[in-house]
Amino acid sequence: MGFSVTDVQKALKGADYPASAEELADLADSNGAPDDLVESLRSKDSQEFDGPDDVMKAMKGELGGE
């Protein structure tokens, strides 16, 4: 199952960039995102993201849910 772009956007609402994958995972968790989305973000642990577009690029293979 993929994640919808909308789900990722909701999970990252209020994010301040640049942000590490761990920071975004923690934010997604506090925003009530599903555990699998939080873990997907956390798995990108060596990355820092300059904005939402960077997150979407990193998650490209995981996007596609409704």
Model confidence over 6-37: pLDDT tens digits?
999 999 999 999 999 999 999 999 999 999 99
Instruction: Note whether residue 51 is domain-resident.
Output: yes
**What's the structural domain count of the chain?**
1
Q: Report, in this order, helix, strand and coil percent for the chain, each rounded to 5.
A: 55, 10, 40
At residue 48, what are phi and psi to the nearest 5 degrees?
-120, 140
Instruction: Note whether residue 65 is domain-resident.
Output: no
Instruction: Note whether residue 28 is domain-resident.
Output: yes
Q: In DSSP terms, which residues pair with 50 in a beta bridge?
A: none
Per-residue model confidence (pLDDT) at position 64: 83
Predicted confidence (pLDDT) at residue 65 exceeds the cutoff of 90: no
Prediction pTM value: 0.89
Which segment of 1-10, 23-32, 57-66 scores lowest on mean pLDDT? 57-66
Residue 17: domain span: 5-59
Instruction: Note whether residue 64 is domain-resident.
Output: no
Per-residue model confidence (pLDDT) at position 61: 87
